[in-house]
Amino acid sequence: MSHSVEPADALIVGGGSAGAVLAARLSENPARRVVLLEAGPDYGATQFPDALLDANRIADLDHDWGYTSRGGRLTPSMVALRGKVMGGSSAVNAGAALRARARDFARWAENGLDDWSFADVLPYFRALENTPTGEDEFHGRSGPMPVRQLTDSELTPAHRGFIDAAVALGHKRITDFNGAEQDGVGAFAVNVLDGIRQNTALVYLTAEVRARPNLTVHGAVTVDRVLFRAGSATGVVTADGTVHHADEVILSAGTYGSAAILLRSGIGPAGELASLGIEPLADLPVGQHLQDHPFCPAVHALAPGRGEMAPALGALLWTASSEAAEGELDLNVVAVHPNGAPFMPAGGVIALSTALVLPEAEGTVRLASRDPLAQPLIDHNYLGTERDRRRMLEGVRIARDLARGPALAPSLAGLLMPRELPDDAEELTRVIESSLSIYGHPTSTAPMGAADSPQAVVDSRGAVHGIAALRVVDASIIPYVPSSVTNLTTIMIAERIAHLVYNHA
């Protein structure tokens, strides 16, 4: 192994939705030496390619990890998109800027994380945000991340028809999902300016931040494992054998990546590690509680004269199934124009996609081998319980009713995928399970919780239980997947831990 010449006070692994934030915030202290390692390319402050800037282009295979996953019973293999670039998945996502709900954080508090209530996190949501609209109680005006509420005039005719169809079915019109209410239908808030997706590398790792002499940023560096001495992290070794020394290591490699690094480092289920020839250092349930949102797209051709396709991201119905717990909203139906789809007809398409956003079922992330270049074994176990299947069925029926309603039907010219949505419950459930896709919000492979919790890997500040000088700060530490998209919540977690642990006055 070769040894780096850049010893750090804080070594951050992963420059995505959390890691870029941490690098910017921790390096605000000029006496703290911060090193950021990202496996994907680093385009600096201003050289991002158009494919990553265009907010209407969702995902980019040139900047993807290439993960695959077992989805569910009838989807043995599916693509699990994750951004491999400075900025991480914030550089390739749809640009939705929605927060987890207050009820989501109440669930965290009810399960031992009583310092993660909505009142605790709201100041950090406000601090990260720069938006000109919404009530001051909920919104920030001067944060690094631009957030803009889409207006009706910016939506396509099909988006507006979707909203009108939901209102006709009795759903309330919501003008700000990041405000007091979420139960209803409305346009998305987005982190998009003039058509450009604002990722965390762009807005946190600016030229001014990168010029700090105490911050070093490296792209194209794949980390193998964490190094330890006497139960304390001392640095990392990369896939090419280079050692980076540090007083503290912070993993921000994402829900799949951070779990894999922990496992290769000997932190995880002891029996599973031993079977791969890895000496267990801490017997913790890494990778045992993966959660994500099962997602069923229904893609419709647009009618002649209704083919407007931008913006891609448009409107959301956030609602509760008949089996939702009190105060919970467990279903999303989203209206999105999937640009570049291989089945694109000449007139364009719209996807009315249903997501079960408070699933019961949990999946796993395991190692296939000790090789840091080998893909982890991901099993989402989507719709793995009867209750999840019933609620998803209910959501898809809502989406189908919206498409058939007089407000939206004139914009549509026929269902393309799946080929049909039958009325029979058993047949429709089979179609749903065969059509599942990735909503792209994986969490909970290294959950926060008390040391005596059988689910917990880290404490409420991201410190790995039983290990010194090692933290995890990214979506993997979310204890239960929230009922929302996860990017803003992940940024908030990084902002909050940076403040409370490192920059607290």
For residue 326, which of 455, 183, 185, 175 has the smallest C-alpha distance? 183
Nearest Cα to Cα of residue 286 among 251, 333, 240, 332? 251
Count CB-CB contacts under 10 A for residue 100: 25
* Residue of 245, 300, 441, 499 marked catalytic: 441
**Number of Cβ atoms within 10 Å of the Cβ of 305:** 10
Rounded Cα distance between 446 and 182, Å, is: 28
Contact partners, residue 67, CB within 8 Å, separation at least 6: 79, 80, 81, 82, 256, 375, 376, 378
Cis bond upstream, residue 418 (ω within 30): yes
Which residues, 6 or more positions from 123, have their beta carbon under 8 angstroms from its beta carbon? none
Instruction: Indicate if the alpha-carbon torsion angle 356, 358, 363, 364 is positive or negative.
Output: positive
Rounded CA Rg of the chain: 22
Beta bridge partners of 216: 35
Q: For residue 367, give Cα distances in angstroms to 269, 272, 274, 288, 438.
A: 11, 9, 12, 12, 21
Q: Walk across the sheet containing 377-379 and list its strands.
A: 78-79, 68-70, 377-379, 364-366
441 noted as active-site residue: yes
Give catalytic residues, as residue numbers: 441
